[in-house]
């Protein structure tokens, strides 16, 4: 119910939103929780396991009950905490985990079955009969399970990631955080202050005590504004630090577009900040803990400090007849604040013995609440004092079991907190995290004034460690009380008392855990699922440890804690993958002929990051095969032009450049004459093939080597490894020139004619023989011509500076057309090379040795090289290895399938009988048949034999012949023609 009082809302800005289809009103500055409570909506959802009615418990990011789904622009986002959602106009919210409606939920039946659904039931039920699991149990569980539903629509949320650097990161802008940040900022250090809330100030926004004579929230506002104006300070609100990582890396999620009704389309929903900070001051405050007692989970039961938040910050009272139950002095503040605002406080219950009654309020000292009542909402409670029980009607019960410092970030790197008996809570181990100081309530310093002092002190420590002089700063006058907490984890008695609200774990479940000898907290956690919900046990961990210590007769210290891990609050996968959706997942690399390809409607194929044209459809062609077959025939009979710029090109220079290449290639490069080109094979040190390519000698100390497109990066890394790590004695330098040169293959019987029409120089057998290079010019542009062939035809590759690439492809294609030729794409390129038995990384798959591809003789006996030693391992030269062969179907109408396996005719097509597999396939227009390359056991000795090719996935089984991998032009005469 809204009370007309001072609050932090903008009352001039009314907001209309919908909850489960019903239109409600609130104000700018309301959270969904405060607006719902203002509208007397107290039933917000159903619990996970038992489907018990639930309402708002807290006013913060630790909220375990009030999880809602929000529909926005067609997207449904589940499991958002109503206590954090900022309402905007036309916000559409739905409660979760109930069917058909929140008031009448069929799965409430689980609650009545609870004796059978206790801890460990997951491990004991649904086990038998085995067959029932897949058909019956699993589908039912899947329907009933889960918290919230995923949207069936493709996610179109936009997220961004960003980097930030600073000297000091202050986490939390409450009393200690503001003082820390101010101390640090005044010294001139680069400061980042973050707070998860949309208004900085922490508890100062919810309490009625004064700071420096002003209202607490006013003091906070003034000082945060000061900080924002300082040039060395950045203040991020709506930003949660979710994790601490090695190397002083902090992950922060900042809400940007997601809280706006109609965010600008360029605005991301959130920013995932990677903050690198020399030092950190943790000022995350503390979270109030509940008390476990029978039926302590009814809607209307809330944390006492949350009641104050709704009252003072949002002008909302969560009830008209309120009872306060606590074990500490801080809880009493709730009574005073309610009284001051004219709300009826029915009673005050304090579990401690020696405390004073509160005037004008019925006070029960040395008393506990032993039960609560109500159907969907709280209607009354039962109090026990000694032997006397009292039933009182109420519609809200404010509870406080004490405060737990929010220490989670301190344990993300493995440090465990320590128990402080005096203030009955866990605090961080001092110096637990390098470069981090902890201030205020997060360090167990609970009074506001002491928290502020602590903030100043810790900031000074940090500045000292950075060698930065600090200025003096006054700590304002404000409340400075002890809160005198006497721990009460649970009220003993019958019935279920809730510890973990979200996962529906009760004291009874912990008792069962102990009974079954799961007494370590790690075991209890997994056995009961306490602490494993999306609140990560923020509302239940300490109470559960307390209960466990009582049940097992151990001290809390020896009971121990489990480990907190990132993220502190749930983070969407979209935010974690920011910037990586759709095409942005990886950069695209485009050749200089890309636009020419697009203009000619050539579909692109991805080759690593590169886009290459697959074929160039001619008018009238209806299938890719038509285009591909035509292009193959065109290259073999006339001339074709293809962009081969994507292959790695590495420039090697230096007095020892030849020695380097002799070391990395299996064959001798040092004997290569000036102006000549040699094919080279590169092995890994373990003897398997790394890559193959060509090597051209441009000078006595100058080579250009090529790599396959796929292995360019790997080879570059390998060369640097050799030069820096293995052989720093080698005097040579390497650098990639892949991007500098646009390179085009010109292949076919008319290729020489084409080049004579293009280059200024004469292109002949004399000027450039097979496997030679020649400097040429086109117009006034210098180019490099290589006579090499991947098609088996008389062919060349010409390299021009990349800024002329576009002009070059157009020129070459227009020249080619004069000879009846044209451009060809990857499909045709692949057919041409398969027909000639040339291999690619389809064959060199990382498991293939030199002998397997018939290149054992390429390992020069006269020199050492990488891989030579291990290449001779018996296992790598064995006859039983799969060796490169050609493969052809017996029946020319049948089709080979890449990836299919080879079996002997008389053996069953099972894994144990595997003889090898098909690596590359194509339709060969030259042979008018499907052909392929394969790796077959002892293949080199089985040429001419018949086998079965079986593809189990595509249901194909045909008879094939094993052949030589060279199908076409077996003598290789065309390339020298």
Partner 1 sequence: MVDSLRKSELTVNLPIKHGDLSLSQEVTNTIFSIMPFKGKHRKIASRLKEEFNIDLPGPNLRTFKGEVSIYWVGLDQWFIINSGDVDLFHLISDDAAITDQSDGWIKMSLIDTQNKDVLARLCPVQPIVETVVRTKLAGMMSIVFFTENGAELFFMRSMIESAVNEIEIAIKSVAAQKGANG
Partner 2 sequence: MRINCPLCGERDLVEFHYEGSSKLMARPKDENDMDAFHDYLHIRSNPAGLNNELWSHEYGCRAWLLICRDTNTHKILSIDLARDVKTKGSLD
Choose between 208 and 429: whose C-beta lies nearer to partner 2: 429
Q: Which of 222, 276, 473, 605 binds partner 2 (CB under 8 A)?
A: 276
Cβ atoms 624, 810 nearer than 8 A: no
Q: How far apart are CA 392 and CA 318, in angstroms?
A: 17
Q: Max alpha carbon distance in the chain (Å)?
A: 116
Q: Quote the tokens at residue 167.
A: 């000297």
Q: Which of 379, 767, 872, 956 binds partner 2 (CB under 8 A)?
A: 872
Cβ atoms 785, 773 nearer than 8 A: yes
Facing residues of 649 across strands?
Answer: 706
Cβ atoms 300, 53 nearer than 8 A: no
260-299 residues near partner 1, rule: CB under 8 A: 264, 266-268, 274, 276
**714 in contact with partner 2 (CB under 8 A):** no
461 binds, among partner 2, partner 1, none (CB under 5 to 8 A by kind): none
In terms of Cβ atoms closer than 10 Å to its own Cβ (0-12, 13-18, 19+), residue 943 is middle
781 binds, among partner 1, partner 2, none (CB under 5 to 8 A by kind): partner 1
**728 in contact with partner 2 (CB under 8 A):** yes
**Residue 693 φ/ψ, nearest 5 degrees:** -175, -165
Q: Which residue stretch of 284-292, 588-596, 692-700, 867-875 sits at the interface with partner 2 (rule: CB under 8 A)?
A: 867-875
Q: How far is CA 966 from the centre of its chain?
A: 47
* Closest by Cα among 656, 726, 720, 976 to 866: 726
Torsion, Cα 170 173 178 184, to 10 degrees, reads: 10
249-268 residues near partner 2, rule: CB under 8 A: 249
545 binds, among partner 1, partner 2, none (CB under 5 to 8 A by kind): none
Residues with Cβ < 8 Å from 500, sequence gap 6 or more? Answer: 64, 528, 529, 530, 531, 533, 537, 539, 540, 544
**Residue 321 φ/ψ, nearest 5 degrees:** -135, 100
* Overall size of the chain counted in residues: 977
Provide Rg for the chain, Cα atoms.
Answer: 38
**740 in contact with partner 1 (CB under 8 A):** yes
Q: Which of 584, 818, 941, 946 binds partner 1 (CB under 8 A)?
A: 584
Q: Which of 225, 764, 864, 891 binds partner 2 (CB under 8 A)?
A: 864
Q: Which of 464, 717, 941, 952 binds partner 2 (CB under 8 A)?
A: 717
442-471 residues near partner 2, rule: CB under 8 A: none
Residue position matching structure tokens 């039912």: 140
**667 in contact with partner 1 (CB under 8 A):** no
**Residue 306 φ/ψ, nearest 5 degrees:** -70, -40
466 binds, among partner 1, partner 2, none (CB under 5 to 8 A by kind): none
Q: Give buried/exposed letters for 839-862 (b at 16+ CB in 10 A, else e).
A: bbbbbbeeebbbbbbbbeebbbee
Alpha helices in 684-825 (DSSP H): 712-721, 751-758, 805-818
**721 in contact with partner 2 (CB under 8 A):** yes
Q: Quote the tokens at residue 397.
A: 């019960």
Q: Which of 141, 340, 573, 586 binds partner 1 (CB under 8 A)?
A: 586
Torsion, Cα 649 654 655 659, to 10 degrees, reads: -30
140-179 residues near partner 1, rule: CB under 8 A: 160-165
146-185 residues near partner 2, rule: CB under 8 A: 163
Q: How far apart are CB 887 and partner 2 at their closest, in Å?
A: 33
Q: Which residue stretch of 388-396, 417-425, 721-729, 788-796 sits at the interface with partner 2 (rule: CB under 8 A)?
A: 721-729
**757 in contact with partner 1 (CB under 8 A):** yes
**Residue 382 φ/ψ, nearest 5 degrees:** -115, 130
Binding mask 589-618 for partner 1 (x = CB under 8 A): xxxx--x--------------x--------
**862 in contact with partner 2 (CB under 8 A):** no
Choose between 430 and 861: whose C-beta lies nearer to partner 2: 861
**869 in contact with partner 2 (CB under 8 A):** yes
Q: Which of 808, 828, 931, 958 binds partner 1 (CB under 8 A)?
A: 808
Number of residues that bind partner 2 (CB under 8 A): 25
Q: How far apart are CA 199 and CA 174, in angstroms?
A: 10
Q: How far apart are CB 798 and partner 1 at their closest, in Å?
A: 12
Residues with Cβ < 8 Å from 780, sequence gap 6 or more? Answer: none
786-805 residues near partner 1, rule: CB under 8 A: 800-805
Q: Which residue stretch of 75-83, 618-626, 861-869, 891-899 sits at the interface with partner 2 (rule: CB under 8 A)?
A: 861-869
Q: Which residue stretch of 48-56, 144-152, 420-428, 718-726 sits at the interface with partner 2 (rule: CB under 8 A)?
A: 718-726
Choose between 333 and 649: whose C-beta lies nearer to partner 2: 649
Q: How far apart are CB 654 and partner 1 at their closest, in Å?
A: 5
* Closest by Cα among 52, 41, 43 to 502: 52
**511 in contact with partner 1 (CB under 8 A):** no
471 binds, among partner 1, partner 2, none (CB under 5 to 8 A by kind): none
* Closest by Cα among 481, 426, 476, 435 to 458: 435
Cβ atoms 786, 696 nearer than 8 A: yes
Q: Which of 122, 137, 245, 585 binds partner 2 (CB under 8 A)?
A: 245
Alpha helices in 2-89 (DSSP H): 32-38
Cβ atoms 344, 322 nearer than 8 A: yes
Q: Which positions touch partner 2 (CB under 8 A)?
A: 163, 245-249, 274, 276, 413, 685-686, 717, 720-721, 724-726, 728-729, 864, 868-870, 872-873
Q: Which positions touch partner 1 (CB under 8 A)?
A: 160-165, 228, 234-239, 256, 264, 266-268, 274, 276, 579, 584, 586-592, 595, 610, 651, 653-655, 724, 731-735, 737-741, 757-758, 760, 778-781, 800-808, 811
């Amino acid at each position: 119910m809204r009370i007309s009082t001072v609050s932090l809302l903008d009352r001039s800005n009314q907001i209309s939103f919908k909850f489960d289809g019903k239109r409600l009103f609130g104000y700018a500055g309301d959270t969904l929780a405060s607006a719902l409570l203002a509208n007397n909506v107290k039933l917000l959802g159903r619990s996970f396991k038992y489907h018990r009615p639930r309402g708002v418990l807290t006013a913060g990011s630790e909220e375990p009950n009030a999880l809602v789904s929000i529909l926005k622009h067609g997207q449904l986002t589940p499991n958002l905490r109503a206590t954090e959602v900022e309402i905007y106009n036309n916000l559409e919210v739905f409660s979760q985990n109930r069917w058909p409606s929140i008031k009448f939920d069929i799965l409430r039946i689980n609650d009545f079955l609870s004796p059978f659904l206790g801890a460990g039931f997951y491990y004991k039920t649904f086990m038998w009969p085995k067959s029932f699991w897949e058909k019956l149990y699993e589908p039912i569980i899947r329907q009933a399970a889960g918290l919230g539903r995923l949207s069936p629509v493709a996610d179109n949320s936009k997220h961004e990631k960003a980097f930030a650097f600073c000297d000091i990161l202050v986490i939390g802008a409450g009393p200690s955080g503001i003082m820390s940040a101010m101390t640090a900022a005044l010294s001139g250090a680069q400061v980042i202050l973050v707070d998860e809330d949309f208004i900085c100030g922490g508890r100062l926004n919810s309490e009625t005590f004064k700071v420096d004579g002003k209202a607490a929230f006013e003091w906070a506002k003034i000082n945060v504004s000061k900080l924002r104006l300082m040039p060395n300070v950045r203040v991020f609100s709506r930003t949660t630090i979710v994790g601490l990582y090695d190397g002083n890396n902090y992950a922060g999620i900042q809400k940007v577009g997601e809280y706006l009704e109609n965010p600008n389309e360029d605005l991301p929903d959130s920013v995932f900040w990677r903050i690198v900070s020399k030092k950190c001051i943790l000022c995350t405050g503390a979270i109030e803990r509940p008390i476990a007692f029978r039926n302590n989970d009814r809607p209307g039961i809330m944390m006492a400090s949350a009641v104050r938040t709704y009252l003072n910050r949002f002008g909302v009272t969560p009830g008209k007849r309120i009872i306060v139950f606590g074990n500490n002095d801080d809880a009493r503040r709730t009574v005073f604040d309610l009284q001051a605002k004219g709300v009826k406080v029915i009673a005050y219950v304090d579990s401690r013995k020696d405390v004073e009654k509160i005037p004008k309020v019925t006070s029960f000292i040395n008393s506990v609440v032993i039960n609560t009542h109500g159907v969907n909402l709280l209607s009354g409670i039962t109090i026990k004092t000694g032997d006397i029980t009292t039933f009182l009607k109420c519609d809200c019960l404010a509870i406080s079991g004490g405060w737990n410092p929010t220490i989670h970030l301190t344990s993300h790197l493995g440090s465990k907190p320590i128990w402080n008996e005096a203030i009955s809570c866990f605090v961080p181990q001092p110096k637990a995290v390098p470069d981090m100081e902890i201030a205020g309530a997060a360090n167990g310093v609970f009074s506001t004034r002491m928290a502020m002092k602590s903030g100043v002190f810790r900031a000074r420590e940090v500045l000292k460690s950075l060698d930065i002089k600090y200025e003096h700063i006054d700590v304002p006058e404000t409340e400075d009380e002890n809160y005198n907490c006497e721990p009460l984890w649970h009220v003993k008695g019958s019935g279920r008392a809730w510890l973990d609200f979200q996962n529906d774990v009760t004291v009874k479940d912990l008792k069962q855990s102990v009974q079954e000898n799961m007494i370590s907290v790690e075991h209890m956690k997994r056995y009961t699922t306490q602490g494993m919900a999306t609140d990560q046990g923020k509302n239940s961990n300490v109470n559960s440890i307390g209960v466990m210590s009582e049940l097992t007769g151990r001290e809390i210290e020896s009971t121990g804690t489990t480990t907190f891990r990132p993220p502190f609050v749930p983070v969407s996968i979209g935010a974690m993958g920011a910037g990586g959706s759709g095409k942005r997942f990886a950069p695209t690399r485009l050749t200089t002929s890309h636009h020419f390809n697009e203009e000619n409607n050539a579909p692109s194929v991805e080759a690593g990051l590169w886009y290459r044209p697959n074929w160039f459809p001619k008018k009238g062609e209806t299938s890719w095969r038509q285009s591909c077959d035509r292009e193959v025939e065109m290259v073999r009979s006339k001339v074709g032009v293809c962009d081969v710029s994507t292959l790695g090109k590495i420039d090697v220079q230096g007095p020892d450049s030849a020695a380097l290449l002799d070391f990395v290639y299996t064959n001798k490069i040092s004997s290569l004459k000036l102006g000549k080109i040699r094919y080279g094979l590169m092995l890994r040190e373990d003897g398997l093939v790394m890559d193959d390519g060509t090597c051209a000698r441009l000078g006595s100390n100058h080579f250009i080597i090529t790599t396959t497109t796929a292995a360019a990066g790997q080879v570059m890394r390998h060369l640097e490894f050799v030069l820096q790590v293995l052989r720093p004695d080698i005097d040579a330098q390497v650098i990639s020139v892949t991007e500098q040169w646009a390179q085009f293959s010109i292949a076919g019987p008319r290729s020489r004619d084409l080049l004579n029409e293009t280059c200024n120089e004469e292109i002949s057998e004399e000027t450039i023989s097979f496997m030679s290079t020649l400097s040429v010019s086109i117009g006034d542009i210098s180019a490099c011509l290589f006579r090499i062939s991947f098609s088996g035809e008389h062919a060349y590759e010409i390299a021009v500076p990349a800024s002329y690439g576009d002009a070059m492809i157009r020129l070459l294609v227009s020249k080619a057309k004069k000879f009846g030729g044209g451009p060809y794409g990857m499909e045709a390129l692949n057919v041409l090379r398969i027909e000639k038995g040339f291999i690619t990384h389809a064959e060199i798959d990382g498991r293939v040795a030199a002998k397997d591809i018939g290149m054992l003789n390429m390992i020069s006996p006269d020199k050492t090289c990488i891989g030579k030693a291990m290449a001779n391992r018996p296992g790598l030269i064995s006859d039983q290895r799969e060796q490169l062969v050609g493969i052809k179907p017996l029946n020319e109408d049948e089709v080979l399938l890449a990836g299919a396996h080879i079996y002997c005719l008389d053996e069953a097509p099972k894994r144990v009988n595997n003889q090898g597999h098909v690596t590359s396939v194509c339709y060969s227009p030259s042979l008018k048949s499907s052909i392929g390359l394969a790796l077959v056991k002892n293949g080199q000795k089985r040429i001419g034999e018949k086998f079965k090719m079986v593809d189990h996935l595509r249901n194909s089984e045909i008879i094939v012949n094993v052949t030589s991998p060279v199908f076409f032009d077996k003598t290789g005469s065309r390339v020298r023609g």
